[in-house]
Amino acid sequence: MTRESVPEKAARYLREGRLVVTAVSGDYVAALARGDGAIHQLGHEPGRGWWCSCPVRSDRCAHLAALRSVTIRRAA
């Protein structure tokens, strides 16, 4: 069995309804993502950037890929 790529895993999380956006205000976004056995907090904050509480601890996790795919930053 081959491992899923980050984009494939992100798309699966969306298909399975594992991502819930809980707040949006300007450049602030908060969400919850159900991963394998845990619920992770994630989002975007001015000055902090993209973040996720999962063990990957980088902005390249599948949870953030899913969140980025359903959010867009409007031009000022």
Query: Per the domain annotation, does 75 fall within a domain?
Result: no
Residue 34 covered by a domain:
yes
Domain-embedded: residue 74: no
* Cα–Cα dist 32/57, whole Å: 15
Query: What's the pTM value of the predicted model, to 2 decimals?
Result: 0.88
64 inside domain: yes
**For 1-60, what is each residue's pLDDT tens digit?**
678 899 999 999 999 999 999 999 989 999 999 987 899 999 999 999 999 999 987 888
Tokens of 14: 């969306």
Domain presence at residue 76: no
Containing structural domain, residue 11: 6-69
11, 4 Cβ separation under 8 angstroms: no
**How many domains does the structure of the chain reveal?**
1
Assigned domain for 26 exists: yes
> Is 47 inside a domain boundary?
yes
Whether 25 is covered by a domain: the verdict is: yes
